[in-house]
Amino acid sequence: MADMGIPFHVGIIMDGNGRWAKARGLFRLEGHRAGMARMLALIEHAFDAGIGELSLFALSTENLSRPKEETEGLFSLFRLYFTQHIPPLVGRGVRLHVVGNRSLLPADLVSLIEGAEERTKAGDKGLLTFAIAYGGRQDIVSACNRAVKEGREQTLESFAGKLSTGGMSAIDLLIRTGGEKRLSNFMLFEAAYAEIYFSEKMFPDFSDSDLDEALLDYRKRDRRFGTSVE
């Protein structure tokens, strides 16, 4: 069995904030707050562990149809993140990138995102991607439309370059917390050969050592990319 070391690109579907809050008799937004606190520490831990690219699913296109109170609360958390939590990324040389449909987000949040991307653009030691108002299928359709406009047959590589994740590597390890076993429209093209790891822990409880355990599990996998069993 191949020992593959640390996965280069890790994706995390951060699920379970709502249930974490409900189990404690708290408002859902408290769960998202706890999720953000956990996420901040997990980002540090992931890059310390040697991960090169980390992609976090923060809000799907479909999540936008949740009650306004919840989406507004999430937007406020995002505002807080993009105003207050960028210096550690700059310090580490991590570049920040946000994928998703920005036209679905409040204009002031989009400006904060652009500002954060600008502040981190020189980062060459890691890449942190947030998927916000993001849908994998929608992203594939947008890439198809770009290809149609170009009027040329595409290769896998040229098509991948037209996705909002163009330039990133394929996902090696995809983690989903919260006990559900589905992809929920996250980076479908990019995760085609990802090793998938499901954790029963709700995201606010997903500790640094839970991430280490997922990384350890990845090391035991035998990635063949559809080739022979030998």
> Catalytic site residue 139?
no
Q: Which residues of 132-144 are buried (b: 16+ CB within 10 A; e: fewer)?
A: bbbbbebbeeebe
CB of 65 to ligand FPP, least distance (A): 12
Is residue 73 a contact residue for ligand FPP (CB under 6 A)? no
By CB under 6 A, the residues from 78 to 107 that bind ligand FPP are 78, 81
By CB under 6 A, the residues from 169 to 208 that bind ligand FPP are 178, 203
> Catalytic site residue 172?
no
Phi then psi dihedrals of residue 69, to 5 deg: -55, -40
Give the single-character DSSP code of 10.
Answer: E
Q: Which residue of the set 3, 15, 101, 108 is catalytic? A: 15
Say which residues have a Cβ less than 8 Å from residue 31's Cβ, sequence separation at least 6.
16, 17, 18, 19, 20, 21, 22, 202, 204
**Which x/- pattern, by CB under 6 A, does the window 129-148 give for ligand FPP?**
-x------------------
Rounded Cα gap, residues 163 and 178, in angstroms: 27
Is residue 32 a contact residue for ligand FPP (CB under 6 A)? yes
Q: Which is nearer to ligand FPP, 36 or 160 (CB)?
A: 36
Let me know: does 57 contact 129? Beta carbons within 8 Å. Answer: no
| Member of 35, 100, 135, 136 binding ligand FPP (CB under 6 A) | 35
Phi then psi dihedrals of residue 26, to 5 deg: -105, 165
Stretch that binds ligand FPP, among 12-20, 109-117, 156-164, 216-224 (CB under 6 A): 12-20
Q: In the 3-class helix/strand/coil scheme, how is 111-151 assigned residue by residue?
A: HHHHHHHHHHCCCCCEEEEEEEEECHHHHHHHHHHHHHHHC
Is residue 126 a contact residue for ligand FPP (CB under 6 A)? no
| Member of 7, 11, 16, 135 binding ligand FPP (CB under 6 A) | 16
Q: Which is nearer to ligand FPP, 7 or 55 (CB)?
A: 55
Is residue 19 a contact residue for ligand FPP (CB under 6 A)? yes
Rounded Cα gap, residues 149 and 137, in angstroms: 19
Stretch that binds ligand FPP, among 77-85, 89-97, 111-119, 153-161 (CB under 6 A): 77-85
Residues forming a β-bridge with 13: 57, 176
For binding to ligand FPP (CB under 6 A), which residues are involved? 14-19, 32, 35-36, 39, 58-59, 63, 74, 77-78, 81, 130, 178, 203
Residues taking part in catalysis: 15, 63
